[in-house]
Amino acid sequence: MASRFVKLLEYAFAGNSERKRMLNSEAFKKTVGEKAVKMLLQAEDISETTLLQEEVIKKVYEGAEPAKCVRNVFPVQKTKSYSVRFVVGSPGAYAKEVPEGSAVPVDQEGYSKVDVEVKKYATRPLITKEMIDDCLFNIIEHEIKKAGLRLENTLNRVVLEKLLTEMDGITAIDPAGTHIAVTDIAEAISKVKEKNWMPDVLITHPAAEGYLLQDSNLAYVAYAGTEAPLREGTIPRLLGLKPYTLSVTPSDESGVYWDGTDADNHYYGLVLDSNNTAVIVMRDDITVTRYEDPIRDLEGIIAKMRFGVGILHDDAGVRILSK
């Protein structure tokens, strides 16, 4: 069944007689909605409405949805500037004993600054004039969704690169066995807690996720009533950590790798305190530009984001080496 977006495109490029037929069609009304049909009846042309523009941005968001990861893990700070400065302190502070009647001394703490620069990332869906002329609206819809997916993957990649290159306050965990296991996760948790942070998130590469799903500590727990690993193929909350799986590939320029290869600078796991490790500064979330005319501007659609990423504390998490 064609989506609302596809039906609206079909209407936009249809002749007058075909448009009348579509407006009287119950199937068309059911797909696009009664409100949209009323708007189309009142307008001489679909370009006089915002229906298509709204559907385009919805499709971009829809394409981004399956890839969402880091924006659900780390704090997202909205900004209207091109740069944001964060002032961060140290964990594990204590109060002083003060005799009765004495003045309370002012606590002294060392602070450091983290400057986060906002950068622009953009993509253009592969929509050609031939696609429009041939009414390949399902393919156009697919290409618009892919634009959202590319932007969300870029956000994931930029954050991952920052974590792998700058989160070096704790020596990376080298799995004791032939691959990652629950015992390695436990060691990573202890290392982060020793730095007075509270780890709450586990991020793994699909290769590491596969090894953990084979781990007897997870697989055999099904006999105790928790069947998620076997039935759904998902890792349940593990040792107090909320699990996420991320399959993006860092850029070649970063010098780090996110895979299952046993080599230098190759990682496939992260254990971290999500509130104190990284921050995402969002100037503009996913938006669509150069799309004022819903028909003529289809070929020139640009989807973009403007954001920056900063590491607040390089010892609030630890990397796990691939093996």
Reported as a pLDDT band with limits 50, 70 and 90, residue 56 is: confident
Instruction: Name the strands in the sheet holding 119-123, side by side, starting at the edge strand that comes first in the sequence.
Output: 76-78, 278-289, 302-311, 119-123
Nearby residues of 10 by Cβ (< 8 Å), 6 or more positions away? 2, 22, 135, 137
Per-residue DSSP letter, 104:
P
> Which residues are 112's β-sheet partners?
88
The answer, yes or no, to whether residue 223 has pLDDT greater than 60, is no
Nearest alpha-carbon partner for 238 in 275, 201, 205 = 201
Per-residue confidence (pLDDT) for residue 224, from 0 to 100: 45
Per-residue DSSP letter, 50:
S
Nearby residues of 68 by Cβ (< 8 Å), 6 or more positions away? 152
Question: Which helix (H) or strand (E) is 209 found in, with range?
Answer: helix 206-214
Nearby residues of 71 by Cβ (< 8 Å), 6 or more positions away? 152, 155, 280
Question: Which helix (H) or strand (E) is 205 found in, with range?
Answer: none
| Full set of structural domains in the chain with CATH | 50-88+112-323 (3.90.1690)
pLDDT in tens, 186-222: 999 999 999 999 999 999 999 999 998 888 776 665 5
Exposure string of 219-229, with b = 16+ CB inside 10 Å and e = fewer, is eebeeeeeeeb
